[in-house]
Structure 1
Amino acid sequence: MKIVPVAYLSSYLLSLLGNSIAAVALPLIVLQVTGSALSAGIVAAATAVPAVLAGLFMGVVIDRINRRTSSVVTDLVSAASVAALPIIDMITGLSVGWFVLFGIVGSLGDVPGMTARDALLPAIVRHGSLASERLVGIRESLGAGALLLGPAAAGTLMAVFDGSTLLWVTATTSLIAALLTLLIPNSVGKIAESPATVSNSWQQLREGWRVLFGSTFLLATTMLTVASVIVLAALQGLILPVYFTLAEQPGRLGFVLTALAAGTLVGGAVYAVTGTRVRRRTWFVTGLAGITFGFALIATLSSVCVVFGGAFAVGLASGSFGSLLGVLMLERIPDDMRGRVMGTQNAVLTAAPSVGILGAALLTQYGSVNVAAIVLTGVWLVAVVVFARSLLGNLEPENEQTTNDKTAVAIDA
């Protein structure tokens, strides 16, 4: 494998691993410093809105500058925002205000950094001599591996380091990710000149929205992804914690999340190896069926073993289905608008978990945890019925579709 995809994938892994560790460690550090659960909630809420806005508006910047440069800069911003906390802790001590301030600064690196890497992916495919299916499948597996290792690493680091000291580790992962991206030649990240560069930022952002919301294909794939994130976030963040608490087995929750991540890792790896050998329609249908089956199993909440099986099934199907959607997005989004379109998608996906958890909380409060699980599975089914149909006939590569169209015209003539 050439250095370009190796550097890209290694950088992606380290960046996501650092974020995964921080997602677990930061709330615990806030609790240690302030002794208040409310403070942890304030920090999370105060940084959520800037993260969404950064995802929306930084896409314009990513479409204007070299995408390799934007990936490096966003990782450096993330590293600096995390490293600032232990430095402040040593000098004056931390407070809620410091967590909020650097959480907002970090939001300028996290979601835009995700978008920058997504926007860089087509160039990595072109320069890496790898099929897009293989590269995206490997990336999906690495992402699942990072999410699998992150919580365990965070727990270990919390036991080894005192307080905010462990944040040096997450800052280091972002810094190394930036250095690895520098191994990618600068020419790989260059953006072809287009007339859009002369318009103002607001016009460019609206152009990106027009492409996303004006395309039935892109809108349908985005909404399917949003629906899956809403349901998964509700299951992980509220329904399963309540279920295991009521069953007096709270420790089992971690194993369920491990089963989900392990399934995703396997699914992504299978797609990386066999993605080009199986028709996309087959991947699409089996992915949707597997996710639906897994959600339905979890929604029964009939036993711990059934929930484990459902979680693994969802992960396994999501690994291949998510990889397929990644390839489709890579092919269908215009390169000069990739930052704006993907920035909007990532901003929506950043907000989606809160929607899912809030909805599940209301359903559990005024109904029951079983009602919440069933209703959310219904949300996924509605999304499949509404959006999947418009995608089934539009899954093959555009060049293959063009060839088929020409053949049909010749036959008609």
Structure 2
Amino acid sequence: MTATETAVTRRFGPLILLNVATLFSSTGNGIVIVVLPWLVLEQTGRASDAAIVAGAATLPLLLSSLFAGTFVDLFGRRRTSLISDCLSALSVAAIPVIATTTGLTVTVIAVLAAIGAAFDPAGIAARESMLPAATKSAGWSLDRMNSLYEANYNVAYLVGPGIGGVLIATVGAVNTLWVAAAGFVLSVATIAFLRLEHAGRPDTATRPTSIWHGTLEGLKFVWHNRLLRTIALVDMAVVALYMPVESVVFPVYFTELDKPAQLGSVLMALSIGGVVGALAYGPLAPFVSRRMLMVVAVTVLGAAMVAMAFLPPLWAILALALLQGLVFGPVGPIANYAMQTRSPEHMRGRVTGVMTSTAYAAGPLGYLLAGPILDKWGIQPTFFVLAIPVLIIGLACFALPVLKELDEKVPVS
């Protein structure tokens, strides 16, 4: 077959549809993240109520992400994505409907936030499970596809909160949720056009026998695969130590300075660095070692966190935040590559779900660690307690021989 004939047989439609659907769905989630706390504060004015709703939206992720991959392998990838976004759209749209009829309470908002959050991981796992087939259809490499997909995902969570903030100011928090629901509906409409190998209902012989049994199979598979187990544990530790800095330490620091705009600029720098880093990975992948990129990413992240712990001037914090996002941007695509090349086709959903659940579990663990330390010792000591272990983990990764497997050529099953 000639190069011209090969190019003709390539199908870019599935690749485009998957990325567009992810952009719509994730932007909807990004809007919701901003709107729900604002809506609660409008209702009661109590920060504690906003925290309750935030917790209600976070806790279901711990269990639903663990079981989500089994739903994907049991019911099929395309169908799971469609159902997940449909249910997310309904749960979000229910809030403005109730607001204009019976009236909202914190309990109602918390329940609907929990329901909506519980549906998201299944849709994410379903779309990620379809990436290898879409990559093959387009004739791309997995590295190139993962680079684009992770950058696209990061862009959604960069623009979503911004859109939410603008709409709150113009049409109000309640009406903004209609736009978020529309994002999920557009994702459904996009996936409805998707036709892709292995996206339909799985064969009876390879489907899990039950949700519980399938999830146990996924856990056992990840644990017994040295590379996946190592990546999951490193990711869990780093997320547990890093997330409190972004979500607790910095907000407290800039609140004490009475400069909330500076907090926004730091988070923006992190996001922009992450998008650029993820996009840069695709062109760099053929020429650099995946292992070296991952090890350097964790080590530089730890070093930058230690430097931030000295609480330097804003310009230095912004530069360090940009550096953190830039070096850590390739980690998502690399982890995706490991999952895609190490998981059998019929178990890809379960493996993706288990690997994702470790990150969701790590966040609350980190908050439990950081909160008491922050209350007792203050901002700077807490920052060092969180930053130094990340640097140690990065240095320890240089001595992990299993990470060399990232550079082995393994065909996708």
Q: Same fold (TM over 0.5)?
A: yes
Runs of 4 or more consecutive aligned structure 1 residues displaced over 6 Å after TM superposition:
none
1:197 match: secondary structure? coil
Contact 1:293–1:313 (CA<8 Å) still a contact in 2? no
Offset at 1:180?
0.8
Residues 333-352 of structure 1 mapped to structure 2, 5 A cutoff: 333-352=343-362
Match of 1:118 in 2: 128
Offset at 1:244?
2.1
Contact 2:89–2:182 (CA<8 Å) still a contact in 1? yes
Pair 1:368 & 2:382 matched: no
2:245 counterpart letter in structure 1: L
Structure 2 distance, partners of 1:327, 1:186, is: 19
Contact 1:231–1:376 (CA<8 Å) still a contact in 2? yes
Offset at 1:6?
0.5
Structure 1 distance, partners of 2:201, 2:409, is: 22
Residues 11-160 of structure 1 mapped to structure 2, 5 A cutoff: 11-160=21-170
Structure 2 distance, partners of 1:245, 1:36, is: 16
Residues 211-360 of structure 1 mapped to structure 2, 5 A cutoff: 211-360=221-370
Residues 5-16 of structure 1 mapped to structure 2, 5 A cutoff: 5-16=15-26
RMSD (Å) for aligned C-alpha atoms: 2.1
Match of 1:407 in 2: none
2:194 match: secondary structure? coil
Contact 2:218–2:350 (CA<8 Å) still a contact in 1? yes
Q: How has the CA–CA distance of structure 1 residues 311 and 268 changed in structure 2, closer, same or farther, with 3 Å as cutoff? A: same
Contact 2:72–2:126 (CA<8 Å) still a contact in 1? yes
Match of 1:185 in 2: 195
1:355 counterpart letter in structure 2: L
Contact 1:231–1:356 (CA<8 Å) still a contact in 2? yes
Structure 1 distance, partners of 2:247, 2:295, is: 28
Match of 2:4 in 1: none
Offset at 1:350?
2.0
Pair 1:392 & 2:403 matched: yes
Contact 1:5–1:128 (CA<8 Å) still a contact in 2? yes
Q: How has the CA–CA distance of structure 1 residues 246 and 39 changed in structure 2, closer, same or farther, with 3 Å as cutoff? A: closer
Offset at 1:191?
6.0
The TM-score normalised by the length of structure 2 is 0.90
2:133 counterpart letter in structure 1: A
The TM-score normalised by the length of structure 1 is 0.90
Q: Deviations over 1:215-272 (max 9, x none)?
A: 2211111122222322331111111122223334332010001110111111111112
Contact 2:134–2:196 (CA<8 Å) still a contact in 1? no
1:63 match: secondary structure? helix
- Indicate the percent of aligned positions where both proteins have the same amino acid: 28
Pair 1:379 & 2:389 matched: yes
Contact 1:135–1:272 (CA<8 Å) still a contact in 2? yes
Structure 1 distance, partners of 2:112, 2:134, is: 32
Structure 1 distance, partners of 2:51, 2:249, is: 19
- Aligned residue pairs, count: 400
Offset at 1:289?
3.5
Contact 1:220–1:390 (CA<8 Å) still a contact in 2? no
1:211 match: secondary structure? helix
Contact 2:142–2:337 (CA<8 Å) still a contact in 1? yes
Structure 1 distance, partners of 2:210, 2:257, is: 56
Moved more, 248-257 or 271-280: 271-280
Contact 1:223–1:387 (CA<8 Å) still a contact in 2? no
- Contiguous gaps of at least 5 residues in structure 1: 401-413
Structure 2 distance, partners of 1:398, 1:278, is: 14
Structure 1 distance, partners of 2:152, 2:143, is: 14
Q: How has the CA–CA distance of structure 1 residues 294 and 334 changed in structure 2, closer, same or farther, with 3 Å as cutoff? A: farther
